[in-house]
Amino acid sequence: MGKYLNPGNDGFQSIRKGEYIDKTGLIDYINHTLGTKQKLTCVNRPRRFGKSFAAQMLCAYYDKSCDSEELFHNMKIAKKSSYQLHLNQYNVLYLDITWFISTADNMKDTVKNLQKAVIKELREIYPDRVEISEHSLPVALSDITARSDSKFIVIIDEWDALFREAKEDKSLQEEYVQLLRGLFRSSLTDKMIEAAYMTGILPIKKYGNQSALSDFYEFTMVDSSPLEEYVGFTEDEVRRLCEESSLDFHELQHWYDGYILGDHLHIYSPKSVLDAINRKRFGSYWAQTETYESLRTYITMNFNGLKDMILSMLGGMKCKIDTNTFQNDMTTFHSRDDVLTLLVHLGYLTYDVSAESVFIPNQEVTEEFLRAIKNADSPEMIQVIRQSEQLLDATLHMDEETVARLLDKIHTEYSSPLFYNNEQSLRAVIQLAYISRVKDYLEFQELPSGQGYADIVFLPKRGSDKPLLLIELKWNNSSEGAIAQIRNKQYIQAVEDFGGKILLVGINYDKKNKKHSCRIEYL
């Protein structure tokens, strides 16, 4: 058992001792690629989505230096025909790129140090097969396999960390690409590599010299089929966790649901879900692994229409984009679509494949956007937040005139990106106008109740003393008519168990005079 070669199953043992969702079906997929032309796999997903968990699971399963039967015998993989055939049968080379970056005195030495450290260990294990003068890891592996029938399974965690940490160092990137080319795109690859599994955040196909990694089968937040269920927690898995922990699934869903992969499979961030369960409290746990600094940088870039699209999405809308122009790095941007595609890969947005559109997935990420905007150098975006805070305050104080005036202002200033011309667009404007609500409220739309659906319900977060807001929207009608509809169609049935104060808010937009009107009443 070594540090890099066959490191054992300790990592997966510690994972199994905690709250573990069975993702071992991924092993069966990898088993069917072993030794084939599909043997190179790269699964890219944001931080907080369990990349390292998957890598350590695969390491524990394939590593020939340990016995992992006890870890897998009651897992899904144990029911597959491939299970016993490959369990603990291979030499596994496990490389955590962030480790080599963090331990280098100078980041420029990362690739050199990586090869030096791994070759040193290989030489200790295979003293008769690795030359003392050898400095190339691909050559060392080929020398070992040339004198035996044993091939390597290579697992690289955070493969793209160098591209993210050394964004501008093209020389270091090229040195790294050369290493990857030697491992995965040489005439000896098939002889020394049984399979490879890499994790990262960004797509790989356009990095540096494409020939280095073009043979990899790649799965990303834009196209993850057929491995969607292994990207994060599925809805069924989250429901089960909520039942076991007596946590409200619907509230958790509002906070963390929203990532849509493949054929509309809903995926949740494992870290966010587990943090909420362990702490017995819903909230934004994103800041524990990310800062809003990176988000702030991207959303304030000077691309035509970018800020308008961000505001549109804060208003609940989807924005159509072309993901194919993205150059798959963090420095090359030619349009707003490139920036928004990067935000998909970073987990700040989610991508609807069928609609070719992006949107903000959930409450947790919305709060990160608002935090970034408040600290951004973007006066127009900051102004929207301030107007929203004023609007919410006016609503809570039942100041109907101020509510109508602020809605007029927001409508006038931001109607263009929202294609404001019907009742559905009115809903988007209202959502944008009330974006400051996320600090104190959960939002529900089209809530079934009585004889119809309540348009928008702002439900105070647990522990808040604010009133519930039940909002009905009208187009070319009257705000009084909106209030009457709430009462006549008994929309209050949807919130009758709330137990606190309830404000009924009727909002109408008159297309002819381009004015809003507002009526607010206590239930």
Q: Of the segments 119-123, 371-375, 484-488, which one has the largest average pLDDT value?
A: 119-123
Instruction: For 491, list phi and psi in degrees, rounded to 5.
Output: -65, -20
Determine the Cα–Cα distance for residues 104 and 122; give it in Å rounded to an integer.
20
Name the domain boundary from 165, 197, 219: 219
- Asked whether residue 391 falls in the same domain as residue 358, the answer is no
What is the rounded average pLDDT of the residues 256-285? 90
What is the rounded average pLDDT of the residues 138-166? 91
Q: Buried (b) or exposed (e) across 157-190, using 16+ Cβ within 10 A?
A: bbbbbbbbbbeebeebbebbbbbbbbbbbeebbe
Looking at 90-104, 319-333, 434-448, 456-470, which range is the least confident one?
A: 434-448
Q: Is residue 391 part of a domain?
A: yes
Q: What pLDDT score was predicted for residue 14?
A: 93
- Asked whether residue 372 falls in the same domain as residue 390, the answer is no
- Asked whether residue 292 falls in the same domain as residue 348, the answer is yes
**In which band, very low, low, confident or very high, does the pLDDT at 291 lie, cut at 50, 70 and 90?**
low
| The total number of residues written for the chain in this structure | 523
Q: Is residue 5 part of a domain?
A: no
Q: Is residue 503 part of a domain?
A: yes
- Asked whether residue 370 falls in the same domain as residue 239, the answer is yes
Tens-place pLDDT, residues 215-244: 899 999 999 999 999 999 999 999 999 999
Q: Is residue 493 part of a domain?
A: yes
**In which band, very low, low, confident or very high, does the pLDDT at 283 lie, cut at 50, 70 and 90?**
confident
- Asked whether residue 391 falls in the same domain as residue 364, the answer is no
Q: Is residue 105 part of a domain?
A: yes
Beta bridge partners of 394: none
- Asked whether residue 192 falls in the same domain as residue 266, the answer is no
Q: Is residue 396 part of a domain?
A: yes
pLDDT at 414 over 90: no
CA 76 to chain CA centroid, Å, is 25
pLDDT at 160 over 90: yes
Contact between residue 358 and residue 321 where contact means Cβ atoms under 8 Å apart: yes
- Asked whether residue 52 falls in the same domain as residue 201, the answer is yes
Q: What pLDDT score was predicted for residue 415?
A: 57
Residue 177 DSSP SS3: helix
Number of domains in the chain: 3
Tens-place pLDDT, residues 419-431: 455 666 677 788 8
CA-based angle 241:245:246, to the nearest 5? 110
Determine the Cα–Cα distance for residues 222 and 203; give it in Å rounded to an integer.
9
- Asked whether residue 365 falls in the same domain as residue 429, the answer is no
pLDDT at 121 over 60: yes
pLDDT at 416 over 70: no
Neighbours of 14 (CB within 10 A): 10
Q: Beta strands of 132-270 (E only): which ranges?
A: 152-157, 193-200, 217-219, 233-234, 259-261, 265-268
Domain that holds residue 79: 10-219
Is 497 or 143 the better-scoring residue by pLDDT? 143
Tens-place pLDDT, residues 42-99: 999 998 888 889 999 999 999 999 999 999 999 999 999 999 999 999 999 999 999 9
- CATH number (domain holding residue 42): 3.40.50.300
Q: What pLDDT score was predicted for residue 150?
A: 81
**In which band, very low, low, confident or very high, does the pLDDT at 417 lie, cut at 50, 70 and 90?**
very low
Determine the Cα–Cα distance for residues 197 and 159; give it in Å rounded to an integer.
10
**Model pTM?**
0.87
What is the rounded average pLDDT of the residues 5-29? 93
Q: Is residue 395 part of a domain?
A: yes
Q: What pLDDT score was predicted for residue 483?
A: 92
Name the domain boundary from 219, 249, 265: 219
Q: What pLDDT score was predicted for residue 272?
A: 92
Distances (CA, A) of 366 to 219, 238, 313, 415, 417: 25, 21, 9, 21, 19
Average pLDDT, the chain: 88
What is the rounded average pLDDT of the residues 458-487? 89
Tens-place pLDDT, residues 376-412: 777 888 888 888 899 999 999 999 999 999 998 888 7
Determine the Cα–Cα distance for residues 107 and 161; give it in Å rounded to an integer.
11
Name the domain boundary from 326, 359, 376: 376
- Asked whether residue 206 falls in the same domain as residue 258, the answer is no
Q: What pLDDT score was predicted for residue 418?
A: 45
Residue 336: which of 318, 359, 310 has the closest Cα?
Answer: 310
Q: In this prediction, what percent of the chain has a pLDDT beyond 70? A: 94
Q: Is residue 2 part of a domain?
A: no
Determine the Cα–Cα distance for residues 260 and 239; give it in Å rounded to an integer.
17
- Asked whether residue 45 falls in the same domain as residue 174, the answer is yes
**In which band, very low, low, confident or very high, does the pLDDT at 288 lie, cut at 50, 70 and 90?**
low
Residue 270: which of 491, 27, 15 has the closest Cα?
Answer: 15
Residue 42 makes CB contacts below 8 A (sequence gap 6+) with 159, 197, 198, 199, 200, 204, 213, 216, 217, 218, 219
Tens-place pLDDT, residues 449-462: 667 777 888 888 88
What is the rounded average pLDDT of the residues 110-127? 94
Determine the Cα–Cα distance for residues 247 and 462; give it in Å rounded to an integer.
13
pLDDT at 467 over 80: yes
- Asked whether residue 197 falls in the same domain as residue 100, the answer is yes
Q: Buried (b) or exposed (e) across 378-395, using 16+ Cβ within 10 A?
A: beebeebbebbebbbebb
- Asked whether residue 285 falls in the same domain as residue 383, the answer is no
